[in-house]
Amino acid sequence: MVNAMPDTVQKTNLLGLTREKMEAFFLSIGEKKFRAEQVLKWVHHNRVGDFEEMTNLGKALREKLSCVAEIRGPEVVSESLSQDGTRKWVVRVTSGSCVETVYIPESGRGTLCVSSQAGCVLDCSFCSTGKQGFDSDLTAAEIIGQVWIAARSLNNIPARSSRSITNVVMMGMGEPLLNFDNVVDAMNLMMDDLGYGLSKRKVTLSTSGVVPALRRLAEVTDVSLALSLHAPNNTLRDQLVPLNKKYPLEVLLPACTDYIGGLSDKSRCITIEYTLIKDVNDQPEHAIEMIALLKDTPCKINLIPFNPFSLSDYERPSNNTLHRFQRQLQEGGYNTTIRRTRGDDIDAACGQLAGNVQDRTRRSARYQQSNLKQDDLISVKAV
Q: Report the alpha-carbon distance of residue 315 to residue 279 in Å, rounded.
A: 8
User: How many C-beta atoms lie closer than 10 Å to residue 88's C-beta?
Assistant: 22
Q: Report the alpha-carbon distance of residue 306 to residue 308 in Å, rounded.
A: 6
User: Is residue 194 near ligand SAH by the rule CB under 6 A?
Assistant: no
**Cα–Cα nearest to 172, from 119, 214, 121, 124:** 119
Cβ neighbours of residue 16 closer than 8 Å, sequence gap 6 or more: 139, 140, 141, 142, 143, 144, 145, 182, 185, 186, 189
User: Is residue 282 near ligand SAH by the rule CB under 6 A?
Assistant: no
Largest CA distance in the chain: 81
123 binds, among ligand SAH, ligand SF4, none (CB under 5 to 8 A by kind): ligand SF4
Site map 294..333 versus ligand SAH, x via CB under 6 A: ----------x-xx--------------------------
**Cα–Cα nearest to 135, from 79, 96, 80:** 96
- Candidates 12, 95, 146, 206; binder of ligand SAH (CB under 6 A) is 206
User: Is residue 208 near ligand SAH by the rule CB under 6 A?
Assistant: yes
User: Is residue 228 near ligand SAH by the rule CB under 6 A?
Assistant: yes
The torsion region of residue 119 among left (phi > 0), alpha (psi -120 to 50) and beta comes to: left
Of 113 and 329, the one with the shorter C-beta distance to ligand SF4 is: 113
Catalytic residue, candidates 100, 142, 175, 273: 100
- Candidates 23, 100, 137, 175; binder of ligand SAH (CB under 6 A) is 175
User: Is residue 39 near ligand SAH by the rule CB under 6 A?
Assistant: no
Positions touching ligand SF4 (CB under 6 A) are 120, 122-124, 127, 129-130, 174-175, 208, 228
350 is catalytic: yes
111 binds, among ligand SAH, ligand SF4, none (CB under 5 to 8 A by kind): none
User: Is residue 168 near ligand SAH by the rule CB under 6 A?
Assistant: no
User: How many C-beta atoms lie closer than 10 Å to residue 307's C-beta?
Assistant: 23
Residues forming contacts to ligand SAH in the complex (CB under 6 A) are 126-128, 171, 175, 206-208, 228, 273, 275, 304, 306-307, 350-351
